[in-house]
């Protein structure tokens, strides 16, 4: 196992992700982790980047005991500076020229060889840098293994001990050879085994959940039918069976037959202990008269919590009478790594670490107010890894590859006021669009697709009669991270067929338009 100490860089998780891609198991712990409190010995240690300056008061530093352990150490960016600063406080200074973005790295040859860290690579490579501070001096006992135009000490290594420091970020895709550098360190230098697989993750996570929850502990969680909550729920079910209680809230703005399908999949196929709260009417009643997107989101979020809490109370009451199981103390959340807004930050001179996470709009007052503790088994994973995990758990391909669907559902896909009739039109149009995308074999090529309804009406002529009806907007995007997106380039003939079917089959619609806006400046959803 490689230990990655997180100094708070936004890329730290990418280090563990790259190592997982190499089938090397790695654990990421906060940089304040003391060696004495660790009950395993790492094969090697990576010190991550971070937003601080090592010489600042209150800046984080690694437990010196790691440097006495004798295992290889690789410092990345801040990690490099930490290694140099430990040797002498004057070794690190604020750089005059900051280096952000691409740089050409030159591996230095000693006796005709590049360092083992760069084994198998060209002497010159494109790398990605992001730093303001730099080494002013080479720490004693070290030599230079790589340079860039701006950094005389872009890579350093101890002359006799396996301690390395690099200024570049090997974990980002902008450093094309970065994975090889990490492989050279983890496998070549540390001798880590390449035997980690998603199946092992499942076993480890199940064992961790069982230990955390105990023999009788019970867990509550919300499911939506989406990939993340389904995978998280299935994992919980594997770990503790019916002591995991899933709640699906039917908010009246789900897609065609969705509630029934989700129920079938989760309950009948996956065996998850599921309660469905049919609250559609309450949501639709409350949405009456609301025009503003933010207000819609607020209302739906708030109502969701009310309904969820009501169900939770019932489950808790039932649980209180059970002899086999104890109180509900845990709350499952399918948070993924990209939802983790800020991994670690330091507060004041006491250097206390606080972990921030996105609670996905879910009941803070349930977790904080009622003392439910969070379980987030997907917290370290990226979307594609969650999909792989889903496959590993036997979840069907169609579900694993499902496009994301927003919590506020069709309510933010009906522009302006939401009425049951408008939801119905958007729902039918969406169903036609998505079915045709599937039939054309395009579903897995598209990041997200849906139909929305614009109730500002347009004039048309149908059956020789003038009509004045709603407009359907089709949206489909290609994206990897949902932060940026481009419109999917459908063939015209495909869109024409979709438009014809929607107008023929969805009463109240006389126009269909395709949204060609990229994100930015647009967003994926229309509201
Ligand atoms: P935008 O519209 O911000 O969407 O470009 C990016 C991604 O986030 C989804 N989205 C939401 N998901 N609750 C959710 O669970 C929401 O309120 C919400 N708003 C947007 C959107 O579908 C897309 O995948």
Q: Model confidence over 44-102: pLDDT tens digits?
A: 999 999 999 999 999 999 999 999 999 999 999 999 999 999 999 899 999 877 888 89
Give distance in angstroms: CA of 467 to centre of ligand 1: 34
For a mutational test of ligand 1's pocket, the pick from 404, 415, 434, 526, i.e. the residue with the most ligand atoms closer than 8 A to its C-beta, is: 404
Reply yes or no on whether the pLDDT at 357 is more than 70. no
Report pLDDT for 441: 98
- The 10 Å CB-count burial string (b at 16+, else e) for 290-320 is beebeebbebbeebbbebbeebbeebeeebe
What pLDDT, on the 0 to 100 scale, is given for residue 400?
A: 97
- 414 labelled ligand-binding: no
CA distance 61 to 71: 18
Q: Which of 80, 69, 74, 73 is nearest to 38 (CA)?
A: 69
316 is catalytic: no
Q: How far is CA 224 from CA 247, 304, 319, 497, in A?
A: 8, 12, 23, 31
Interval between CA 523 and ligand 1 midpoint (Å): 9
Question: Considering 82, 99, 171, 238, which one is annotated as catalytic?
Answer: 171
173-186 exposure pattern, b = at least 16 Cβ within 10 A, e = fewer: eebebbbbbbbbbb
Q: What is the ipTM of this complex?
A: 0.99
**pLDDT on residue 354:** 27
Distance 405 CA to ligand 1 centre (A): 7
**Residue 515 in contact with ligand 1 by CB distance below 6 A:** no
- Ligand 1 atom closest to Cα of 522? 5
Mean pLDDT of 246-269: 97
Catalytic entry in 13, 31, 77, 205 = 77
Task: Tell whether the model's pLDDT for residue 345 goes beyond 70.
Answer: no
Clarify whether 171 is annotated catalytic.
Answer: yes
Cβ of residue 334 lying under 6 Å from some atom of ligand 1: no
Q: Distance (Å, rounded) from C-alpha 415 to C-alpha 526?
A: 8
pTM to 2 decimal places: 0.83
Q: How far apart are CA 523 and CA 380, in angstroms?
A: 26
CB of 448 sitting under 6 A from ligand 1: yes
- Mean of the per-residue pLDDT values for the chain? 91
Q: What is the pLDDT of residues 127-148, one digit of tens each?
A: 999 888 999 999 999 999 999 9
Ligand 1 contact via 482 beta carbon (within 6 Å): yes
């Amino acid at each position: 196992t490689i230990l990655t100490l997180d100094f708070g860089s936004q890329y730290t998780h990418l280090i563990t992700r790259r190592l997982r891609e190499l089938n090397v198991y790695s654990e990421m712990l906060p940089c304040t982790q003391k060696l004495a409190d660790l009950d395993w010995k790492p094969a090697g240690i990576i010190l991550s980047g971070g937003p601080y300056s090592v010489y600042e008061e209150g800046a984080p530093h690694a437990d010196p005991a790691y440097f006495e352990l004798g295992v290889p150490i690789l410092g990345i960016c801040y990690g490099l500076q930490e290694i140099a600063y430990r040797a002498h406080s004057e070794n690190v200074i604020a750089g005059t020229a900051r280096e952000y973005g691409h740089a050409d790295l030159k591996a230095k040859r000693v006796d005709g060889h590049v360092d083992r860290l760069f084994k198998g690579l060209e002497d010159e490579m494109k790398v990605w840098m992001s730093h303001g501070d730099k080494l002013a001096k080479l720490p004693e006992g070290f030599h230079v293994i790589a340079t860039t135009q701006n950094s005389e000490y872009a890579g350093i290594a101890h002359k006799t001990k396996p301690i390395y420091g690099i200024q570049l970020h090997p974990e980002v895709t902008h450093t094309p050879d970065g994975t090889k550098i990490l492989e050279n360190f983890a496998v070549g230098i540390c001798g880590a085994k390449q035997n980690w697989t998603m199946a092992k993750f499942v076993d480890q996570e199940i064992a961790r959940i069982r230990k955390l929850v105990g023999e009788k502990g019970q867990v509550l969680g919300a499911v939506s039918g989406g990939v993340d909550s389904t995978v998280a729920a299935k994992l919980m079910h594997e770990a503790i069976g019916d002591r995991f209680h899933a709640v699906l809230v039917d908010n009246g703005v789900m897609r065609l037959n969705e509630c029934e399908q989700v129920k079938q999949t989760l309950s009948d196929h996956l065996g998850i202990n599921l309660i469905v709260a049919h609250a559609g009417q309450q949501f639709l009643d409350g949405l009456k008269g609301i025009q503003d997107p933010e207000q819609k989101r607020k209302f739906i979020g708030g109502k969701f919590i009310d309904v969820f809490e009501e169900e939770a109370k019932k489950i808790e009451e039932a649980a209180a009478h059970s002899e086999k199981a104890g109180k509900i103390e845990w709350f499952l959340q399918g948070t993924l790594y990209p939802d983790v807004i800020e991994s670690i930050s330091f507060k004041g001179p006491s250097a206390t670490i606080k972990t921030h996470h996105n609670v996905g709009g879910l009941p803070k007052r349930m977790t904080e107010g009622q003392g439910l503790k969070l379980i987030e088994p997907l917290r370290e994973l990226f979307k594609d890894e969650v999909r792989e995990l889903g496959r590993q758990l036997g979840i069907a391909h169609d579900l694993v590859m499902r496009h994301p669907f927003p919590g506020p559902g069709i309510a933010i896909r009906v522009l302006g006021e939401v009425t049951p009739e408008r939801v119905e039109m958007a729902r039918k149009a969406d169903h036609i669009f998505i079915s045709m995308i599937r039939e054309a074999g395009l579903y897995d090529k598209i990041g997200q697709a849906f139909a929305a309804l614009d109730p500002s009406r347009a004039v048309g002529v149908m059956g020789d009669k003038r009509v004045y009806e709603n407009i359907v907007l089709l949206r489909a995007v290609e994206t990897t991270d949902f932060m940026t997106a481009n419109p999917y380039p459908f063939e015209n003939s495909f869109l024409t067929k979709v438009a014809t079917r929607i107008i023929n089959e969805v009463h109240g619609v006389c126009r269909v338009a395709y949204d060609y806006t990229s994100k930015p400046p647009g967003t994926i959803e229309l509201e």
